[in-house]
Amino acid sequence: MTYCVGLLLNAGVVMLSDTRTNAGIDNISTYKKMYVFEDPGERAIVMLTAGSLSVTQTVMAKLRHRMEDPDASPDQCVMKAPSMLAAAEIVGKTLNEVSVSIGGLMGSMNQSASATILLAGQRRGGQMRLFLVYPEGNFIEATADTPFLQIGEHKYGKPILDRVVTPETTLEDGRKAALLSMDSTLRSNLSVGMPLDLAVIPRDRHLVGYCERIEPGDPNFSAMSDAWSEALKNSFVNLPEWRIQDGDQP
């Protein structure tokens, strides 16, 4: 399985993914789920993928092929698209075409193939945007009311994002929140695993300002995880006592 999260902040975008894939308890592998495309100073795009590896890798291969094709038109290539909305439409159309094609083949064998994609970025002269693209080709967008989107095993890492993340969150605090969200997921679901891929796109710079792979045993991630666990334990211990009223069952 997978966990990927994207934060849309006033200061920019934070994108984080794990790398674990599995086709059963005895077939676990590491595959990159983050794809970074940039023309520094002009546009920067990061995509995170979840779901069928055959679908996501085929989609990315098709998107990359069009980027390398000098004759590709703006309605075919995300790096030539006139807006991030147009880029999301290109990704949605490609994902739908691949999902239908592979899904038809898999369906004949009573198997399913589905995938979702988080797409974020900014082009020069345009807005910073974050989309969640579905296999049907449609998508939703992060807003000021909901400044983050998740795909994969999202339930474990959502509570901290709900409590902490707002559009005013700084990039550093957003990075921290995303990593703690991932840490919660790693602790609760064995189908999500390290290494992690992290990328940050600062607003109006039109480039990927920070990109990092966090390996198992990384001292900074481990220290943050331990500190968070200790803070939660201390907060729990220091909660006010729940007063039991006369007649209540203990």
User: What is the C-alpha to C-alpha distance for residues 196 and 182, in angstroms, rounded to an integer?
Assistant: 9
Domain boundaries, the chain: 3-236
Could you give the 3-state DSSP secondary structure of residue 123? strand
Q: pLDDT of 188-243, one tens digit each?
A: 998 899 999 999 999 999 999 999 999 999 999 999 999 999 999 999 999 998 87
Fold adopted by 3-236: Glutamine Phosphoribosylpyrophosphate, subunit 1, domain 1 (3.60.20)
Q: pLDDT of 56-82, one tens digit each?
A: 999 999 999 999 999 999 999 999 999
- The whole model's pTM is what? 0.92
How many other CB atoms are there within 10 angstroms of residue 223's CB atom?
Answer: 10
CA dihedral sign of residues 18, 156, 6, 60: positive
